[in-house]
């Protein structure tokens, strides 16, 4: 069957073959396979199904029909409050499913660790584009709930110098924290800063070590962009925190 490259990958070369996608296997393949099987057994529809390895040793996953929001310009529904609310509920669902399981180990839950519009499948539901699933689970690992929640805030609210209406961003932070029923809202902004700092340092270190994908990301401006986002959140942390409980 013929292969077609899928757009929107920032690290891996992902192709579609019929009703499946193929991704390069990695050190995380075994964990991701177990996690996706676990989510399947529990009937959770927010992730692709893991179907095994193909003859070339690549991961085989189900192709999820819909719109993946990887481009900068997006239909307004992607950035709507309703969309943010639904993303948050999806996150809460898979966190609750994995809480207390072997997959989460000694941590609270399994975190996705790269929740962002570019890793979200949106589909038309009752005539409106809505988030229905997350892809790109290869960074998933045991972790703290607040880490994914903070990543959601950073990526889906777009916290950084592009923000035009800081009050609106602050309101959306509260919306996520409340919709998730996050226990420790005081820790949310420090967790966002932690992610942003960790992210640019991670790209920088991997690029220095010769990782081609990270060299590409750095050349495309990812390090300076994330540093600017970190600085912006730091500068505005008081205004943002005031919205939280």
Ligand X SMILES: Nc1ncnc2c1ncn2[C@@H]1O[C@H](COP(=O)(O)OP(=O)(O)O)[C@@H](O)[C@H]1O
x/- contact string, 20-49, with ligand X (CB under 6 A)?
Answer: -x-x------------------------x-
Distance in angstroms (rounded) separating the CA atoms of residues 15 and 63: 10
What pairs with residue 128 in β-bridges? 125
x/- contact string, 83-122, with Mg ion (CB under 5 A)?
Answer: ------------------------------------x---
148 is an interface residue for Mg ion by CB under 5 A: no
59 is an interface residue for Mg ion by CB under 5 A: no
Interaxial angle between packed helices 81-98 and 166-180, expressed in degrees from 0 to 180 and rounded to the nearest 10? 30
- Cβ nearer to ligand X, comparing 15 with 174: 15
What DSSP string runs through 123-155?
Answer: EEETTEEEEEEE---TT-EEE-HHHHHHHHHHH
Distance in angstroms (rounded) separating the CA atoms of residues 163 and 215: 27
Site for ligand X in 160-219 (CB under 6 A): none
User: Of 90, 129, 135, 153, which lies in the binding site for ligand X, with binding defined by CB under 6 A?
Assistant: 135
User: Of 70, 158, 216, 236, which lies in the binding site for ligand X, with binding defined by CB under 6 A?
Assistant: 70
Q: Which of these ranges, 5-13, 80-88, 141-149, 227-235, lies near ligand X under the rule CB under 6 A? A: 5-13
Residue 131 and residue 90 in contact, taking contact as beta carbons nearer than 8 Å: yes
- Cβ nearer to ligand X, comparing 63 with 194: 63
Comparing CA positions, the residue from 1, 38, 5, 14 lying closest to residue 213 is 14
- Cβ nearer to ligand X, comparing 48 with 146: 48
x/- contact string, 92-121, with ligand X (CB under 6 A)?
Answer: --------------------------xx--
> Which pair of structure tokens corresponds to residue 116?
């962002």
> Which pair of structure tokens corresponds to residue 198?
């960790």
Residue 177 and residue 72 in contact, taking contact as beta carbons nearer than 8 Å: no
Q: In the bound complex, what is the minimum distance in angstroms from residue 37's beta carbon to ligand X?
A: 15
Comparing CA positions, the residue from 179, 181, 184, 139 lying closest to residue 12 is 139
Per-residue CA distances from 193 to 126, 167, 200 (Å): 37, 19, 11
155 is an interface residue for Mg ion by CB under 5 A: no
136 is an interface residue for Mg ion by CB under 5 A: yes
Q: Which residues bind Mg ion (CB under 5 A)?
A: 119, 136
Q: Which residues bind ligand X (CB under 6 A)?
A: 6-12, 14, 21, 23, 48, 61, 63-64, 68, 70, 118-119, 135-136
């Amino acid at each position: 069957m013929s292969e077609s490259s899928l757009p929107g990958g920032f690290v891996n070369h992902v192709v579609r073959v019929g009703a499946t996608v193929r991704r390069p296997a990695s050190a995380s393949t075994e964990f991701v396979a177990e996690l996706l099987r676990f989510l399947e057994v529990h009937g959770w529809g927010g992730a692709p199904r893991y179907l095994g390895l193909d003859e070339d040793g690549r991961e085989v996953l189900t192709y999820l029909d819909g719109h993946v929001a990887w481009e900068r310009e997006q239909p307004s529904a992607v950035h709507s409050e309703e969309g943010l609310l639904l993303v948050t509920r999806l996150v809460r669902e898979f966190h609750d499913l994995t809480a207390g399981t072997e997959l989460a180990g000694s941590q609270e839950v399994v975190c996705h660790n790269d929740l962002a519009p570019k890793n979200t499948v949106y589909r038309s539901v009752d005539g409106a584009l809505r988030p229905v699933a997350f892809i790109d689970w290869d960074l998933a690992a045991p972790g703290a709930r607040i880490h994914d929640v903070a990543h959601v805030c950073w990526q889906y609210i777009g916290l950084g110098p592009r923000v035009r209406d800081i009050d609106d961003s602050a309101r959306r932070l509260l919306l996520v924290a409340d919709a998730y029923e996050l226990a420790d809202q005081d820790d949310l902004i420090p967790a966002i800063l932690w992610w942003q700092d960790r992210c640019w340092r991670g790209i920088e270190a991997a690029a220095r070590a010769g990782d081609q994908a990270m060299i590409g990301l750095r050349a495309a401006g990812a390090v300076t962009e994330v540093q600017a986002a970190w600085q912006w959140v730091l500068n505005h942390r008081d205004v943002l925190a005031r919205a939280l409980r």
